[in-house]
Chains A and B, each alone.
Chain A
Amino acid sequence: MFAYVVKRLLSGVVVLFLISMSVFLLFWYGPSEPAQTICDRDTSNRCTPARLEVFRENLGFNNEWYEEYGTFVKGVVAGREIQFGSTTKFQCDAPCLGYSYRTKAPVFEEMKTRMPATFSVAIGGAFLYLAIGIPIGVAAARRRGTLTDKALVSSFLVISSIPYYLFALLTWLFLTITWEIPFFADTGYFPITDNPAKWFSGMLLAWLALGAFGCTQYTRYARGSMVEVLNEDYIRTAKSKGLTSNSVVYKHGLRAALVPVITIFGIEFGTLLAGTIFTETIFDIEGIGLWALEAVVQRDLPVVSATALFGAAVLIIANILVDVVYSILDPRVRLS
């Protein structure tokens, strides 16, 4: 298993190379001119061709992309010196992801301060939707075909047919604006170490939106998987031993039904971490997703490539974890 994980991690590094390279290529050969955007902003829309040329030179867009990419990779591995204009110089230590064009702040440092917000959103939301979705799914599967089951399945289908950003936006609108529930008034990320209560109340609305939306999907996953498992021969065997029906459903049924649900969860959780863009934007949480969105709009190459790398790394790790957990849950699976 150890060898397998190492192998997967190495192939993950290759993926990260390819992704960062693609981001660079997009900036160099893509349809927009990043230097123009930054020049416009920094000169309050009085960007002359001469000034633009200075920006191009300073940001390295006059060099070949692979030279700049080489510098970037060197920075990640060993650190580098970054120069803005002729006077300002920064020492950027490894792992150096560059300095933001916009804020002139080191990207890696900013990423570190934003990660807790994103992790808070994702972990809290995922906890909620699993804790609600799986029990409801199991209950529906046990009552398969009854009115309760049909009502649950169809109402959840309606909710999950709404686009998530609309669902989250409506949640926010109703709870904070229309009904003015004071508890939800101040959404946003406040470090848990400073004030846990404020952290909790700032996150709660985002969690509720994610949890309420996500649980409809996990209800369906859990129900589907459970319905299938409850028809298996080994469930009949468990009944024929004289076990209680709870023991049959949970010990024998859920144990098997959870395996595919956890697999889906692992991959979706990676996606959730890599892009809670809607949640962070709507609930004003200063996390990675919101940061990535701003960076794309501002053509902030170092931040865009850093957030892309973060997303890719999270997905790679989530996939490896899913495989490892799968091999633990299902004794028939051998990693190799």
Chain B
Amino acid sequence: MTITSPSSPSSTTSAGDVEGPFLQVEDLTVTFPTQDGPVQAVKGLSYSVELGKTLGIVGESGSGKSVSSMAVMGLHDARSSEITGSIRVGGTEIVGLAESRMRKLRGNSMAMIFQDALAALHPFYRVGDQLAEGYGIHHPKASKRDARRRAIEMLDRVGIPQPDRRVDDFPHQFSGGMRQRAMIAMGLINDPSLLIADEPTTALDVTVQAQILDLLQDLQREFNSAVIIITHDLGVIAEMADDVLVMYAGRCVEFGTTKEILTKPEMPYSWGLLSSIPEVGASTDARLIPIPGNPPSLLKPPSGCSFHPRCAHRDKVPGDLCVTQLPELTSASNRAGHLKRCHLPNPQEIYQTEVLPEIAPDLAEETR
């Protein structure tokens, strides 16, 4: 089934007339002034996403993954945040863009799906009205009936049974999975070229999670949109993403294709993330190894590499480089496109000989 919008407005950001990646973020920094001083939630972040591709952003709470995506959507309050760097969406620079123009992009050529759909949908308005509202605002010529028809169409597309009846339900009358589907329908109602999904499956049970991820993949293939999926779940990354960006304390600490990051990670924080997920089929005494310590304070970030207070491998770096000097984001082991921010001279060797045997002994056997 294909979806056609009756009156698609001519947009400067339609997919065709842009060369290169649809979304290009360069040296993005997001600062929140607080009473205790400025907090840099995102520092010098750069990435790009092409149409039809999916970028996964992983990291702990407070690593800046949501903050950076909210900046892309222009959802930070200008009075309480400061954004520098460059964000280009379909060729349009949106850092410093006037709110009136930003509003035309938001929900139209880019959309966001939030976690916890129960909180993210308005409790007092019917699901269909909430969907239709998003359509109507970007299609001023469309009638109420057109907007409603479009809402039903989208509910049908995301797999809600009897959409012509459920369209008049309130969010609390939907199940958790259906609410997330409705949220996705709301995000996609204007055929956005960029879709940001912020932990779209976090509040759902596992079987529903898989359905939602399948749905997102289907929809992406259908609309050929650029997708950013924010998660702390590497399972979701493995399923969905083409590229992975690992964030720690507001910075990108490792970037590469999903296969690279999941099989040959070179940054101890990425190792930590891999160590802390259980594996199906592993013996029941296989150990889950948590990353020691807590995420750092963004108010007083650690000197040098932000991860050094929690890093188990910093004694392998000569001198006190980890404490004194912030590692550059450099090419990892000469593999194209794989970037890491770490001082370790021989990360692959350490991963193969020390980390892998710890977390996946069978795998370590195979690769040896």
Report which A residues bind B (CB closer than 8 A): 232-234, 236-245, 247, 252, 255-256, 329-332
Contact = CB atoms under 8 A, between A and B. Distances in A.
B147 to A, nearest CB: 12
Contact of A241 (B99, B119, B133): B133
A242 B137 contact: yes
Contacts of A242: 103-108, 134, 137-138
A234 B138 CA distance: 19
Contacts of A234: 119-123
Given A236-B120, A238-B122, A331-B170, A243 B114 contact: no
Given A243-B103, A332-B123, 17 more contacts: A233-B120, A234-B119, A234-B120, A234-B122, A236-B114, A237-B114, A239-B75, A240-B75, A240-B107, A240-B112, A241-B137, A241-B186, A242-B104, A242-B107, A247-B137, A330-B123, A330-B124
A251 to B, nearest CB: 8
Contacts of A332: 123, 170, 172
A255 B129 CA distance: 14
Pick the most buried of A240, A256, A329: most chain B CB atoms within 10 A of its CB. Answer: A240
Nearest to B110: A240
Interface string B135-177: 0011000000000000000000000000000000010100000
A142 to B, nearest CB: 10
Interface string B67-106: 0000001010000000000000000000000010001111
Interface residues of B, number: 27
Nearest to B103: A242
Nearest to A259: B124
Across chains A and B, which 5 residue pairs bring their CB atoms closest together, nearest first? A242-B107, A233-B119, A241-B107, A242-B106, A241-B134
A243 B137 contact: yes
Interface in B167-216: 170, 172, 186
19 contacts: A233-B114, A234-B121, A234-B122, A236-B114, A237-B186, A240-B75, A241-B186, A242-B103, A242-B104, A242-B105, A242-B106, A243-B137, A247-B137, A252-B122, A256-B122, A256-B124, A329-B124, A331-B170, A332-B123
B359 interface: no
B103 A331 contact: no
B116 interface: yes
